[in-house]
Amino acid sequence: MAKGTSWAQRPGGPPRIDLLPRQLVERRVVRRQRTGIGAGFLVLLTLLGLWYLLESRQLGRAKDQADQERVVAAGLRTQRAQLQPLAELESQVSASEQLRASVYSHEIRLSSVLRDISAIVPDDVWLTSMAVAPTGSGTTPAGGGTSTATQPSGTAATTVTPGSPGAGSPVATITFGGAGLEHVDVGGFLRALARGPRKGGQQVYLNPYFTTSQKADQNGQETVTFSATVDLSSAAYSGRFQPAGTVTP
């Protein structure tokens, strides 16, 4: 048998004789392999080209979107610069409102006090004088009932008797001077003060207290002249210009 000759047996048929040289057969096999590899490489390059094209389009869209966002950001910066004076004005207004709230936090409107007193005073009692004075922290109005207790350290502590002037941490004291027909009428006036109006569930007038009460004869008419005090609680504050929901101490 010649070199390079090969036999191939067909199933159900006669044997096939391949007379091509082995080198030529191997070259054909190598050529086919190279062709397959080249075709695969070409397909890979095609896929890579398609992927690059898609990514390039996405990158272009992303750049366009970034450009639009930069334009929007520049517009917002311009608007912020234009609105900056308004922001400063708003800050000044807020500071002014806080200052006003602080100034008016302890305001007592005497018009409201006079309106309450005019509604409380009985017909047979009339006032000749009235003065309002703020109560300092830790002070007790004249005529107040106080007691002194000795602490274990040897120091004396002053306490205010409940119901006497200064009890209940008042913020102001009203001193009255007036007259009435009888002592019982003057007592009715002080009882009316004790039952006086409430604000926010808190009694406005505290500790009504007689300082003096004596009978006198005026033009043949016997009357009772008196002086008295009553304290005002923090409910007497007007609450003007205070933030909503806040309670003035």
Q: Per CATH, the architecture of 110-236 is what?
A: 2-Layer Sandwich (3.30)
Residue matched to tokens 């002592």: 183
- Whole-angstrom CA distances from 203 to 130, 194, 237 are 20, 9, 12
What's the pLDDT tens digit per position in 180-236?
Answer: 989 899 999 999 999 989 988 899 999 999 888 888 776 777 889 999 999 999 999
Strand partners, 212: 227
Who contacts 236 (Cβ-Cβ below 8 Å, separation ≥6)?
108, 112, 113, 171, 172, 199, 204
Residue 224's SS3 state is strand
* Every domain of the chain and the residues it spans: 17-105, 110-236
Residue 9 near residue 15 (C-beta atoms within 8 A): yes
Measured between alpha carbons, how far is 102 from 199 in angstroms, rounded to an integer? 21
Question: What pLDDT is attached to residue 27?
Answer: 78
Give me the tens of pLDDT residue by residue for the chain, a chain 249 residues long: 444 445 455 555 566 665 667 777 777 777 888 888 888 888 888 899 899 999 989 998 999 999 999 999 999 998 888 888 888 899 999 999 999 999 999 999 999 999 999 999 998 999 999 999 998 644 334 444 443 333 444 444 456 788 788 888 899 999 999 999 898 999 999 999 999 899 888 999 999 998 888 887 767 778 899 999 999 999 999 988 888 766 555
Residue matched to tokens 């009694």: 203
Number of alpha carbons in the 13 Å side-chain half-sphere of residue 204: 20
Question: What pLDDT is attached to residue 12?
Answer: 57
Provide the CA 70 distance to its chain's centre, in angstroms.
Answer: 35
Question: What pLDDT is attached to residue 80?
Answer: 86
Measured between alpha carbons, how far is 16 from 6 in angstroms, rounded to an integer? 8
Largest CA distance in the chain: 172
Question: What pLDDT is attached to residue 146?
Answer: 40
Residue matched to tokens 């002053």: 158
Question: What pLDDT is attached to residue 69?
Answer: 92
